[in-house]
Amino acid sequence: MELPEASANPARARLTELRQTLLTLHKALLDSERTAYEIVHGPIGSPGAFLQLLINDNWFAWLRPVTTLLVQIDETLAAKKPPATERDFEQLITDTRALLSVSREANGFWKRYAAVVDRDPGVAVLHEEMERWFS
């Protein structure tokens, strides 16, 4: 998805870059959780069946904060009237950092996320990339 005016505003450019990195991480998390699910429950029959599991099955519910954040980023980057502000862009960057931060240990998301980072080397590499992005 091509998002307009990424270079016109440094905060917009940073959010656009973060979006791409987060999207890659999200895909890796979905793939990893799908594999884990299929080990326990057997193969998922179709893309439509997988989508229904993503929407309705508690196994995948912990991933919704990442999905929601990506939707918020896309909506903010695409906003025309009223246009998104630098503060909007920076807030989404802050929200992403907070979601993926160790400081959220008590949160159910963080526990599941950390477990996937520990078990899946591909996700671990992407998590490290996110940490470098924020530093």
Q: What is the pLDDT of residues 65-90, one digit of tens each?
A: 999 999 999 999 999 888 899 999 99
- Calculate mean pLDDT across residues 107-115: 86
- 4 Cβ neighbours under 8 A, 6+ residues apart: 77, 78
pLDDT at residue 2 is higher than 50: no
Task: Please give the pLDDT value at position 8.
Answer: 66
**Cα 116–119–122 angle (5° rounding)?**
80
Write the burial class of residue 35 (CB in 10 Å: 0-12 exposed, 13-18 middle, 19+ buried). exposed
- Looking at per-residue confidence, does 91 or 109 come out higher? 91
- Phi, psi (rounded to 5 degrees) for 120: -120, 110
Task: Please give the pLDDT value at position 16.
Answer: 96
Task: Give the model's confidence band at 64: pLDDT under 50 very low, under 70 low, under 90 confident, else very high.
Answer: very high
Task: Please give the pLDDT value at position 107.
Answer: 66
- Calculate mean pLDDT across residues 104-109: 67
- Calculate mean pLDDT across residues 19-42: 97
State what percent of residues in the chain have pLDDT above 90: 78
State the chain's mean pLDDT as an integer.
90
Cα 23 to Cα 77: distance, rounded to the nearest angstrom: 14
Task: Please give the pLDDT value at position 18.
Answer: 96
